[in-house]
Amino acid sequence: MPCRLRFITVVLLALGPPNTAGAQSRVALVVGSAAYAHAAALPNPINDARDVSAVLRDLGFAVVEGLDVGKRAFEDTLRIFAGRIAAADTALVFYAGHGLQVAGQNYLLPIDVKLDSERDLPFETVRLDILLQLVQWGREGKASLLFLDACRDNPLSRNLARSMGARSAALTPGLAAAQSAAGTFIAFSTEPGNVARDGRGRNSPFAAALLRHMRAPGRPIAAVMIEVRRDVMAATNGRQVPWEHSALTGEFYFRAWPGAATGSLPPAPAAAAPAVHEERTRRLQEELGRRPPPPARP
């Protein structure tokens, strides 16, 4: 099955849940690449990108979107996004398309990528570590969440392996495990070195599960990912198990509790009205009045 990579990065305050009413500014970059010039078209990155954009807008994000972008358009879109996140409380990047790793370095592949040799990588691709630096640069005190949904069995990587000869051992299956600074959460659609599936529906198993659960109010990201993991395992008969690395210093919520303010806790049960307390007191007094007095002590 053709491969594609879903990449979502979320940068957020390392404090409590954001207010969906807009107390925090939230900016997203969504990129979906399917119509590759030198590989077969991918079935659902565009669907996933559009669907994620729609949900993010519903969650209060201003979305910068790029569909079927080449290298120059990809970089131009990143530049626009970078200019908008400097003052944002929350920044999010979703990438859907081909991806691969060479010698432990992960690369995202624009639709015009052509890999005749390993020397093409810096010029034809977007390095994941550079994208990480972009969303973290100058945004201290905030956190980053990355979601990577990758199917790595693709003709682009096989062509590159043939050109590398003996060095093709450096082109290992899957994406490398990505490490990052404190305040970062990285989720893979499957464990590093394994293969993620495209699925047969409108969305990939991982994207479909994420879209289904990211709307739930009052759910921290760890709880969302547990539900995503369960759904993906069920959809793939256990062949795909989402995996994550967390260095978060606080909770992130896609959607807070209805009416909750930033940093708030779940609403406590409503206190009983004063009239209810008065009625309970009256009944207790009546009950005590009907009881016989205790026997006198000798």
Rounded CA separation 86/102 (Å): 31
Residue 86 in any domain: the answer is yes
CB 171 within 8 A of CB 164: yes
Q: Is 257 exposed, middle or buried (0-12, 13-18, 19+ CB in 10 A)?
A: middle
If one compares 296 and 87, the residue with the highest pLDDT of the two is 87
Residue 146 in any domain: the answer is yes
Residue 265 in any domain: the answer is no
Q: What is the pLDDT of residues 95-133, one digit of tens each?
A: 888 888 888 888 889 999 998 888 899 999 999 899 888
Encoding tokens for residue 73?
Answer: 């358009």
Residue 59 in any domain: the answer is yes
Tell me the average pLDDT of the chain: 77
Q: Which domain holds residue 89?
A: 5-246
The number of domains in the chain is: 1
Q: For residue 93, what is the domain's CATH number?
A: 3.40.50.1460
Residue 260 in any domain: the answer is no
Residue 147 in any domain: the answer is yes
Q: Is the pLDDT of residue 296 over 60?
A: no
CB 107 within 8 A of CB 99: yes
At residue 271 the predicted structure's pLDDT band, cuts being 50, 70 and 90, is very low
Residues sharing a CB contact under 8 Å with residue 288, sequence separation 6 or more, in sequence order? none
Q: Is the pLDDT of residue 136 over 80?
A: yes
Residue 71 in any domain: the answer is yes
Encoded amino acid at 236, one letter: T
Residue 266 in any domain: the answer is no
If one compares 145 and 230, the residue with the highest pLDDT of the two is 230
Q: Taking Cα atoms as reference points, which of 100, 244, 110, 243 lies closest to residue 176?
A: 100
